[in-house]
Amino acid sequence: TQNGDGRTFRRGDLADEIILHGPGQRVAYVTDLGFTPENFEAVAALARDADLLVCEAAFLHEDEALARARKHLTARQSGELARAAGASRLAPFHLSPRYQGREQELLDEAASAFGGPVLVLTSEALREGAPPDP
């Protein structure tokens, strides 16, 4: 993975470069999560009061059956999870390439369900680790 100036980082090291946080800030990162009521409650509890929830939003909610089959969250579920956790901000990512050129729809769906500030990551980061298009 690379950032904009061409330097190469291992995935674990890249997080230190792109996520700035200070003392007392809580960052939660959620990806590859199949939606079940049990998973939703457990992750909401783990991410409780996060200052930033970086959460997958792989599919639009209209494709919920596909999201369920692929064990991913929809953008709406990502927003609902952020709201249930009491997160201050949401950064959706891990968007399926099937929505290339339509990323704003996913971001809008997540924002609507969350009701709070949504951070927009770079287009490369939005798709980081995204599931291949079936």
For residue 104, give the CATH number of its domain: 3.60.15.10
77 in a structural domain: yes
The 10s digit of each residue's pLDDT in 74-97 is 999 999 999 999 999 999 999 999
22 in a structural domain: no
Rounded distance between C-alpha atoms, residue 56 and residue 47, angstroms: 14
Number of domains observed in the structure of the chain: 1
Closest residue by Cα to residue 67 from 76, 58, 78? 58
The 10s digit of each residue's pLDDT in 122-132 is 655 445 445 55
Tokens (6 digits) for 74: 């929809």
116 in a structural domain: yes
Decide if pLDDT at 6 tops 70: no
CB-CB contact of 8 with 2 (8 Å)? yes
Identify the helix (H) or strand (E) that includes residue 52. strand 52-56
133 in a structural domain: no
Closest residue by Cα to residue 110 from 56, 70, 68? 56
The whole-number pLDDT of residue 13 equals 67
State the residue range of the domain holding 52. Answer: 30-121
Decide if pLDDT at 11 tops 80: no
The whole-model pTM stands at 0.77
68 in a structural domain: yes
